[in-house]
Amino acid sequence: MRQWVAWAAAAAMACAAGCGPKSEGTEASGGAASGGGGKKLTVGFSQIGAESGWRTAETQSIREEAAKRGVELKFSDAQQKQENQIKAIRSFLAQKVDAIILAPVVETGWDAVLREAKEAGVPVVLVDRGVKVQDDSLYATLIASDFVAEGRMAGEWLAEQTKNRPEAEIGIAELQGTPGAAPAIDRKKGFEQGIAKNPKLKIVLSQSGDFTRTKGKEAMEAFLKSGKKFGAVFAHNDDMALGAIQAIEEAGLKPGKDLLIVSIDGVRDAFQALIDGKLNLTVECNPLLGPMAFDAVEAALAGKKLPKWTVVQDRMFDREAARKEFASRKY
Least distance to ligand AHR, CB of residue 162, Å:
24
- The window from 9-17, 21-29, 52-60, 69-77 that contacts ligand AHR (CB under 6 A) reads 52-60
Concatenating the DSSP letter of every residue in 80-107 gives T-HHHHHHHHHHHHHTT-SEEEE--SSS
> Interior CA angle at 274 toward 271 and 275, to 5°?
90
Least distance to ligand AHR, CB of residue 150, Å:
8
Distance separating alpha carbons of residues 326 and 245, to the nearest angstrom: 20
Least distance to ligand AHR, CB of residue 145, Å:
8
Binding of ligand AHR at residue 75 (CB under 6 A)? no
Q: Which residue blocks in 5-108 are alpha helix, DSSP H? A: 7-13, 53-69, 82-94
Binding of ligand AHR at residue 223 (CB under 6 A)? no
Least distance to ligand AHR, CB of residue 316, Å:
14
Quick one: which of 265, 284, 298, 314 contacts ligand AHR (CB under 6 A)?
Answer: 265
Taking the least distance from each CB to ligand AHR, the nearer of 51 and 156 is 51
Binding of ligand AHR at residue 52 (CB under 6 A)? yes
Tell me the residue ranges of DSSP E strands in the chain.
22-26, 42-47, 72-77, 99-102, 124-127, 141-145, 170-176, 201-208, 232-235, 260-265, 281-284, 309-312, 316-317
Q: Of 178-217, which residues contact ligand AHR (CB under 6 A)?
A: 183, 211
CA 285 to the chain's CA centroid: 8
With H, G, I as helix, E, B as strand and everything else as coil, classify residue 11.
helix
Binding of ligand AHR at residue 152 (CB under 6 A)? no
Instruction: Report the residue count for the chain.
Output: 331
- The window from 48-56, 59-67, 93-101, 319-327 that contacts ligand AHR (CB under 6 A) reads 48-56
The binding site for ligand AHR (CB under 6 A) comprises 51-52, 54-55, 128-129, 183, 211, 237, 239, 264-265, 285
